[in-house]
Structure 1
Amino acid sequence: MSEMPALQSEYDLIVIGSGGGSMAAALTAKTLGKRAVILEKMDKVGGSTSFSGGVWWIPNSSLLRKAGIEDSYEKSRQYFDSVVTYRGPGVTPARRDAFLKGAPRMLDFLIGLGLKVRRPHFDWPDYYDEVQGGLPEGRSIMPAKFNLKELGAWKDRLALYGPLTHMPMGSDEFPVLFLLKRTMAGKLMAAKFVATMLRDKITGRQTVSNGAAIQGRMLQIALREGVELHRSTPVRRFIVEKDRVVGVVAEQNGREIEVRARDGVIANVGGFSRNKEMRERVMGGLPTSNEWTNANPGDTGEVIQAMMDMGAATDCLDAAWWVVTSRNTDGSWPEGAVWTDGTVVPFMHHLDLSQPFSIMVDQDGRRIADEAGAYMEIGERIYQRQRETGRAVPAWVIFDKRHRERYNWGASQPGVTPKSWLESGYMKKADTLAALAAACGIDAAGLEAEVARYNRFCKTGVDEDYGRGSRAFDNAHGDPTVKPNPNLGPIEQGPFYAVAIYPGDVGTAGGVVADEYARVLREDGSVIPGLYAVGNSTASVFGRCYPGAGASIGASFTFGYIAAHHSAGSNELSRILS
C-alpha cells in the first residue's frame, strides 16, 4: 500500500473527514468513474466510526433474508414511524424513505467490494422491539474481525478506541462475557477471548473487532481501490462562488491549499462533543461538559460552525448519542478511567445498568427511566427531569452487594472494588439506605420509598413504572439466572453502594439540516448548492431516538453513498431509492 500522491488542486468530489460515511462516499464515487479525495484533519483516520462499537443498523438487509428473518421496507417503515416521534426539518418522510431504501443497497454494494459482515452471534433486538414493525432478532449488522497487520504501513494510521484495542471481541459478545460469574456461556466466552489473544501472540496477528474492524476493512478496500486519503489536512474554510460551494481551503504541512470540487463537497466531520463553548451555547444552561464524552478527539465542530456561518439550518443541537458515565462529584475521575498516559476514558454504563439489584434515581430518590433500555432515551429522560426539577444531574445509581459481587462496574470485574473508589468518595458505601442517601445528598425518605416500590416490582417481575425487562432488548443484557425478570433484582442486602451518574455521550446527534440526498439546507428550505453533509455533522434522520444498535453508523454510510450518487448525477439513484 503505497503513499498517497500529492494533493491536487481539483477533484470531482471532496470528502471532509474520514469516518465510515466518507469511505462509502469515496468508494461510490470511484465506481461511478469519479475522482474523490478524503481530507482528514487528524493524524489517524477512521473518525467516529473507528471509536464506535462497530455496528450498522440496516433494515431489510440481505443478511436478514439469508437468515430467514422476515423484514421489508413496509415493516421497517412501520417500526421507524412507531419510534421516531420527533418532528423537525431533519426528520422528513423523504429522508426516512431514502435511508430505509438506500441502506440495504449500500450494504450490498460494499459487500461486493469485499466488506465482510455478519449478523450478531446472539440476537441483538431492535431497541423497541415490542412496537409495530420491531424485530426481536434485530436489524443490526457486525463487521467480521480484522487483522490490522493486513494494513501494512497504514496499521499505525488507523484511529483506535483505547479500551477496545486489545479486546478482539465484538460488541455482541460483551453481554455474555460480563456474565462470567453467572453462566456457562459467560465462562465459554471468556475462554474464547483468551484463546484469540493467545493465537494472536503466537501468530503475530493483531485481531480487532467493533469500530476498528469496520474502518480497518474499509481503509483496506479504499486503499486497494486507489481512493486518495490525506491525513493531517484540516479544512479551514469553504470556497463559495456564485452562491455555490466549489471547493475548500485546506492546510497541509503548514501551507494553505485551495482544492476545488467539480461535483460537490461532502462534510462528514462528526459532531462537536469536544467543543466546550459550543456545547454550553446549545444546552440552554443545562449541565454539560466536553469531559463526559467518549467521542473521537477530532469531534470539535469547526466545520459545522463554518456551514452554519454560510446559512445552513440546524436542528437538535442539544441532542447526543447519550451513554451515561460516572465520576466523583468533585470532578475527579475514578481509577480505571485514567490511562497511564493521562488520557481520560470515561466509563460507559449501559451493560452494568441493565443488571438486576440496581436502580438509577434523581436527587429526590425517584427513578428516571428504564435502566436497561435504550441508552439515548435514558440521557434524554435525565435532561427532561433536570428541566423539570433541577435535581437530576448528577443522578445516582443505587445497588446492593449482590450487584457488586456478580457484575462488572466500569473497568472493575465482579467482586473487585478498588480501594481508591471508596477512599476518594467516587463510590459511596453504607449499611443502610438512609445513610447512603445522606452521603449522596439524596432525599432519604424518597429513596427508601422508591426502593420499596421497586422491590415489589422485582417480586412480580413487572416494572409498573418504566417496563424494565419487558423488552427483548432489555433481556439480552440481563442476567438469565435471575427470575422472574432477568433485569429486576431487589435492593435489600447491605452494604449498599451509590455512584454519581452524568449524561455522557459517544457523539452529538444534532447538526446541519440535510435533505434526502444529503444536500445541506438553509433555514428557508433552499439548498446550498454543492454542499452535502452526512453522519454526526447533521441533524439525525432519527431525531431524538436511537432505534437500534448501529443506527448512527448505518445512516452515515447510507447518506454518504446517496450523496456520492447525487453529486455525480448518477442514473442509478432513482433505482436505489425506488
Structure 2
Amino acid sequence: MSQWDETADFVIVGSGGGSMAAGLYLKSIGKQPLILEKTDKIGGSTAMSGGVLWIPNHPLQARFGVQDSEEAGRRYLNAAVGHDAGPGSTPARKEAFLKAGPPMVTFLESQGMQFIRAEGWSDYYDELDGGCARSRSLAAPMLDARDMGPLFDNLRMGPMVVPLPVDQTRNITLATRTLKGMWEGVKLLMRLRRMAKTGKPILSYGGALQGRMLMLSEAKGVPIRTNCGIVDLVEEEGRITGVVVAQDGQRRRIRARDGVLINAGGFSRNRAMREKYGPSPASTDWTNANPGDTGEMIEIAQAHGAALDLMDQAWWVPGTLPPNGAVFMHVTDLSKPHVIVVDQNGRRIMNESQSYMANGQALYKAGVPAWVIMDSRHRQRYAWGVQPPGQTPDDWKSSGYMKSASTIESLATAIGLNPAALRQTVDRFNGFARTGKDLDFHRGERAYDNWFGDPRTKPNPNLGAIEKAPFLAFKMVPGDVGTAGGIVTDEHARVLRPDGSVVEGLYATGNSTASVMGRVYPGAGASIAASFVFAWLAAHHAAGRPGG
C-alpha cells in the first residue's frame, strides 16, 4: 500500500480550459477536487486565447431565436470532421461532445458563469450540411480586473490579449472603415483611458473567460495550487491512484480516490517533441501557446500505457515574426482585401479568408515559408498583428521584417521570387477582385470568409486588387496556439491503451489529447469547448455518474 502525504477525490493536472469546470461540478456534489498547476499562473493557453467555446445547440441559441439542434450539429460535425479522423474522433466521442455540451453550459450558468453569443461568428464551413452561419460560439463578457481583487495577480495573461479590451474583434478591425468600427474604436479609447487611470486592465477574450472561471472556483472552494508540477503518476495493480508532485523543492505523493485528469496542454514549446512528431520545419519560436505547454504529461501518460494519435497536428495560426516582439497572428488580417499569400514559386496557395487551421495546413502543403503580398491600402486601412492601421514602425523595414517596393516585379526580386510569376499571380487575382469571384480558391463564398472581410469593398468583401504602390511583403510561417494531438481517450475521457483497453483511474482532455475534431477546426472555440466538455464528462464518470 502506498504512503500518501495527502488525499483528494479527483486530482486535475493543469489549470487550462475545462479544469475549473470539472472542479465546480465535483464541488457541487460534495466531492473534493484538487487542481495542480506547474507554472506560477492560472489559466493555461485558454487564458491567452480568444476565450470562445463552440457548442452546437447551446441554450443561448434558443433564447436568441437561433435555429439549431443536436441533429444539425451532428450533421455538420460529421461533414466537417469526417468519419475516419482517427481514434480520438470516434462516433462515440463526437456523440458525447454533442450531448454533453448544452447541459454543461446550463450547469456553468447555474454556478454563476456569464456567457454571451458571438452573433455572426459563423461556423468555419457553414456551407456544409448542418452549418450555422449565425454562430455556435460562446464568449465571456469583459471583466474589470478590479473585480477579481488579488486573484487577478494569479491569472495568466498573454501579450496578444491585454491591450485590446473589446467585446467583438470584427468591429475593431474595421475602425477606419465602418461606423460600427469607428464606434468600437471610440469605446476602446475610453476603456484604455480608464485602465490607465485605475492601473488595472479590463479583461476580454480568454482573460475574461478564465478570470470568471477562477472567481467562481474561488467562491465555490475549488483549490488550485500553482508551482506544483507532476513528476509521475502512481500506478497500483494497473490503476492510476495518485500523482507525485514537486513543490518547493520537495516531492509529495497525493492520492486520488476517484481518478486523475490530465489537462496540461500539448507540446508546442517542447522542441524535441516537435522535431520527433510534428511536420517540418517547425519552431518553438513560432507558437503563442503558454509557457507551460511542454508536453511532459503526454510522455508520462504514454509511459503508463497511453496510446497517442494526431501528434503531427496543431491549432495552426499563420503568423509573421516582427522584430522585438511576440509572434503576430493574422486571423483577421488575411481576410481583408488587398492581400494574398504565395509560395516560393510566386503562386497563390490558399483561400486567405478560410479557417486559420486550414491555412496553416496549406502552408505546410505548399512549403514553408510563404510570402504575404499586399498593397499600400491594406496597411493604411487595417491592422497587421497588433499594429494599428497606418502606423508602421521604422524597424519593420530596417530589420528586414517588411519588404517594400514600387512595383510588383521589384518586390519579387527583393524577396527572391520570380518577377514574371508573381506578376502573373497578382494580375489573375486582381481580375477576381474586379468580378468578385475567386475562381482558384473561392475566397469570400462562405459566411465565415465574410465575417472578417470589409463590407465597404465591393463586390466581394474579401477581395481587393493589389495595384496601389508601395507594395509590401512579409515572410509567413505556420504559427500555432497549441498542439492538437496526444493521448487517446474514449467518450468518458478515459485514457486508452493502443489495444483499446482502459488505463483505469486516468482521464485526459484538452490539448493533452488527440482531438475529437480530428484534423479540422469546425468553428471558433472548438478546442476550448472540447477541453471543457470532456473535463466535465471525466468528472461525472469518476464520480460514478457517467454521461454528464
CA contact (8 A) 1:12 1:34 kept: yes
Letter in 2 for 1:349: H
Q: CA deviation at 1:201?
A: 5.1
Secondary structure at the aligned position of 1:373 is classed as coil
1:506 partnered with 2:487: no
Q: CA deviation at 1:537?
A: 0.3
Aligned twin of 2:290: 296
Letter in 2 for 1:351: T
Aligned twin of 1:124: 121
Aligned twin of 1:287: 281
Say if 1:283 and 1:199 are closer, same or farther in 2 by CA, change over 3 A. Answer: closer
Higher alpha-carbon deviation: 196-205 or 126-135: 196-205
Aligned twin of 1:146: 143
Secondary structure at the aligned position of 1:164 is classed as coil
Letter in 1 for 2:95: D
Letter in 2 for 1:189: E
Partner residue of 1:565 out of 519, 540, 546: 540
User: Superposition pairs for residues 321-470 of structure 1, below 5 Å?
Assistant: 321-327=315-321, 333-334=322-323, 338=324, 344-385=325-366, 392-470=367-445
Q: CA deviation at 1:152?
A: 2.2
- Aligned residue pairs total 544
Q: Which runs of 5+ in 2 are unaligned?
A: none
Secondary structure at the aligned position of 1:381 is classed as helix
Secondary structure at the aligned position of 1:428 is classed as strand
Aligned twin of 2:38: 41
Q: CA deviation at 1:205?
A: 6.1
What is the alpha-carbon distance in structure 1 between the residues aligned to residue 490 and residue 231 of structure 2?
A: 25
CA contact (8 A) 2:85 2:519 kept: no
What is the alpha-carbon distance in structure 2 between the residues aligned to residue 94 and residue 215 of structure 1?
A: 29
Q: CA deviation at 1:520?
A: 0.7
What is the alpha-carbon distance in structure 2 between the residues aligned to residue 536 and residue 291 of structure 1?
A: 19
Aligned twin of 1:107: 105
CA contact (8 A) 2:166 2:184 kept: no
Letter in 2 for 1:254: G
CA contact (8 A) 2:162 2:201 kept: no
CA contact (8 A) 1:361 1:398 kept: yes
Aligned twin of 1:274: 269
Letter in 1 for 2:52: V
User: Superposition pairs for residues 63-82 of structure 1, below 5 Å?
Assistant: 63-82=60-79
CA contact (8 A) 1:166 1:208 kept: no
Aligned twin of 1:31: 28
User: Superposition pairs for residues 194-205 of structure 1, below 5 Å?
Assistant: 194-200=189-195
1:247 partnered with 2:242: yes
1:193 partnered with 2:188: yes
What is the alpha-carbon distance in structure 1 between the residues aligned to residue 399 and residue 46 of structure 2?
A: 34
Q: CA deviation at 1:161?
A: 1.0
Aligned twin of 1:477: 452
What is the alpha-carbon distance in structure 2 between the residues aligned to residue 487 and residue 314 of structure 1?
A: 39
What is the alpha-carbon distance in structure 2 between the residues aligned to residue 95 and residue 283 of structure 1?
A: 24
What is the alpha-carbon distance in structure 2 between the residues aligned to residue 144 and residue 351 of structure 1?
A: 21
Render the CA deviation track for 1:402-443: whole Å, top value 9, x for unaligned.
112211112322222222111221111112212111111122
What is the alpha-carbon distance in structure 2 between the residues aligned to residue 404 and residue 518 of structure 1?
A: 46
What is the alpha-carbon distance in structure 2 between the residues aligned to residue 531 and residue 260 of structure 1?
A: 13
What is the alpha-carbon distance in structure 2 between the residues aligned to residue 218 and residue 411 of structure 1?
A: 26
Letter in 2 for 1:165: V
Letter in 1 for 2:318: V
Secondary structure at the aligned position of 2:441 is classed as coil
Secondary structure at the aligned position of 1:270 is classed as coil
Aligned twin of 1:388: none
Identity of aligned residues (%): 49
Secondary structure at the aligned position of 1:82 is classed as helix
CA contact (8 A) 1:428 1:499 kept: yes
Secondary structure at the aligned position of 1:27 is classed as helix
RMSD between aligned residues: 1.4
Render the CA deviation track for 1:306-362: whole Å, top value 9, x for unaligned.
1112221111111111111112xxxxx42xxx3xxxxx4110011111111110010
Aligned twin of 1:341: none
What is the alpha-carbon distance in structure 1 between the residues aligned to residue 46 and residue 434 of structure 2?
A: 41
Letter in 1 for 2:209: I
Q: CA deviation at 1:194?
A: 1.9
CA contact (8 A) 2:14 2:264 kept: yes
CA contact (8 A) 1:520 1:533 kept: yes
TM-score, normalized by length of structure 2?
A: 0.97
TM-score, normalized by length of structure 1?
A: 0.92
Secondary structure at the aligned position of 1:90 is classed as helix
Higher alpha-carbon deviation: 27-36 or 13-22: 27-36
Aligned twin of 1:4: none
Partner residue of 1:231 out of 226, 233, 241: 226
Render the CA deviation track for 1:494-513: whole Å, top value 9, x for unaligned.
22111000000000011111
What is the alpha-carbon distance in structure 2 between the residues aligned to residue 404 and residue 165 of structure 1?
A: 23
Q: CA deviation at 1:460?
A: 1.2
CA contact (8 A) 1:20 1:218 kept: no
Q: CA deviation at 1:221?
A: 0.8
What is the alpha-carbon distance in structure 1 between the residues aligned to residue 195 and residue 213 of structure 2?
A: 22
Aligned twin of 2:16: 19
Higher alpha-carbon deviation: 197-206 or 30-39: 197-206
Q: Which runs of 5+ in 1 are unaligned?
A: 1-6, 328-332, 339-343, 386-391
Render the CA deviation track for 1:233-290: whole Å, top value 9, x for unaligned.
0010010110111100001111100001111000000011011111011125x10000
What is the alpha-carbon distance in structure 2 between the residues aligned to residue 139 and residue 448 of structure 1?
A: 41
CA contact (8 A) 2:258 2:505 kept: yes
CA contact (8 A) 1:400 1:493 kept: yes
Letter in 1 for 2:241: V
Aligned twin of 1:95: 93
CA contact (8 A) 1:27 1:222 kept: yes
